[in-house]
Amino acid sequence: MTEFLTDPVFLSRVQFALTTAFHITFPTLTIGLAVYLVVVEWLWLRTGDLLYFRQFRFWSRLFAVNFAVGVVSGIPLEFQFGTNWGPFSATVGNFFGQILGFEGTMAFMLESAFLYLMLFGWKRVGPKMHFFSTIMVAFGSSLSAFWILVANSWMQTPSGGHLAGGIFVVDDYLAAVFSPDLPLAFSHMYLACLEVTLFVVGAVSGANILLGRNVPFFLKSFKIAALAAMVVAPLQAFVGDSNGQEIGRLQPAKVAAIEAHWDTNKPGTGAPWNMLAWPDPRNERNFFEIQIPYALSLLITHSPTGTVPGLKDFPREDRPPIVLPFYAFRLMVGVGFAMMAVMAWTVWAWRQGRLSPERAPGERYLYYAWGLMAGGAYLAVLMGWVTREVGRQPWLAYGLIRTGEGHSDLAAGAVWLSLTGFVAAYAVLFTLFLFFMAKLVRKGPDMAELPPPGHGVAG
């Protein structure tokens, strides 16, 4: 353990993981909440129902706080490519740097410019322009996610160029942008953003219904979130399954590590799925394992006897860590199934008439489940990211540049100093975030608020 604490490469990885894990929780909600705001503003314009206008006003305040912390926490990530991962940036910067630049200038600037009109432009622009601004904020936040996934997917499956003299030279820009990993990885991540948002909206709404505060208002937002989640949760399971198959084709060593699968199954036999196991990398086996026969072949190839390469097929120096992705993946999948169970419960309660304004406050345990799943949705995002990034090791760009080769010449003490600073700064930032979010939620919607003149029905 001591050797890890004095290893600057390991410490830089910890620092990047910590700052990413902190940052990623904010844009996931921002992206989904922006879509939610588009929906409720469209319903407001279409129906003239003041409840939708007030929905927009309440949730847009939470959006603003979340957006601000997301921006502040995201800035250090890009700086670390220069401070801690200089050789990597020098090798791939002529492509990777441009992608991060696109994210900043194309997506973030678009989102920021229209954010002002969305939050403060009610008295300055008409309803159509305001709605357009909300759409642009949602589009900008989604575009930002796209460019970040372009960069990350390229690290998973580098394409569209070659190394020449230690520098990545782009031969086909479109092939580099649309790397093989991108379509399903972006879809999987985007649906995760929507899931986080829907369960956060549902959990906040459920808590307020339980407390008897503005029940008609929060019952409306709870039902909108529940209806959308009934579609998104199963769709995410389908996309996740497809993504698993694709990773099996593109990064077989990663799948073997995620599944603690050591030996390639022989022709005509199925690879078992390790439901639980404790890997022993030194001796290339598992200390113990609880298996389901044929299940891994079915999951990865959709054939009971499909071939799944085992870890022993890959040189030791090319194998990812096993324990972390193995259990992170199972946590993510477990939360996904729990979400679908909560959805089934919600459908049943709705069909039984238990979500009427009179009976809804009595559904205590249903709202507890939604609250649990809101936290679970964040956990699933983080565990998915851990599975994805740790499973890519020992490569920074898969098969192109190793993690150790891309690290700056830094002393462990220097990394410890910056790591400690990030922990302290993020602790303060997170405390402020919780304070302001709790204050806004406690205050609740302003049920007397009316739209400004020219923005629909008054009174």
pLDDT at 459 over 50: no
* Residue 6: how many other CB atoms lie within 10 Å: 12
What is the per-residue pLDDT for 102? 87
Among 35-39, 69-73, 129-133, 180-184, name the one with the lowest average pLDDT. 69-73
Q: Report the pLDDT averaged over residues 13-17.
A: 93
Among 102-111, 177-186, 309-318, name the one with the lowest average pLDDT. 102-111
Q: What is the pLDDT of residues 199-212, one digit of tens each?
A: 999 999 999 999 99
pLDDT at 4 over 80: no
User: Are 80 and 396 a contacting pair, CB within 8 Å?
Assistant: no
* Residue 156: how many other CB atoms lie within 10 Å: 23
What distance in Å separates the CA atoms of residue 456 and residue 459, rounded to the nearest whole number?
10
Mean pLDDT computed over every residue of the chain = 92
For the four alpha carbons of 35, 41, 47 and 52, in that order, the dihedral sign comes to positive
What distance in Å separates the CA atoms of residue 259 and residue 439, rounded to the nearest whole number?
44
What is the per-residue pLDDT for 104? 83
Largest CA distance in the chain: 74
Q: What is the pLDDT of residues 39-53, one digit of tens each?
A: 999 999 999 999 999
What is the per-residue pLDDT for 327? 94
Q: Report the pLDDT averaged over residues 223-248.
A: 92
Q: What is the pLDDT of residues 280-315, one digit of tens each?
A: 988 999 999 999 999 999 999 989 999 999 999 999
Q: What is the pLDDT of residues 55-85, one digit of tens each?
A: 999 999 999 999 999 988 888 888 898 899 9
Q: What is the pLDDT of residues 400-413, one digit of tens each?
A: 999 999 999 999 99
pLDDT at 437 over 60: yes
User: Are 108 and 72 a contacting pair, CB within 8 Å?
Assistant: no
CA angle, corner 349, sides to 344 and 354, nearest 5?
165
What is the per-residue pLDDT for 336? 93
What distance in Å separates the CA atoms of residue 81 and residue 101, rounded to the nearest whole number?
13
3-state secondary structure of 115: helix
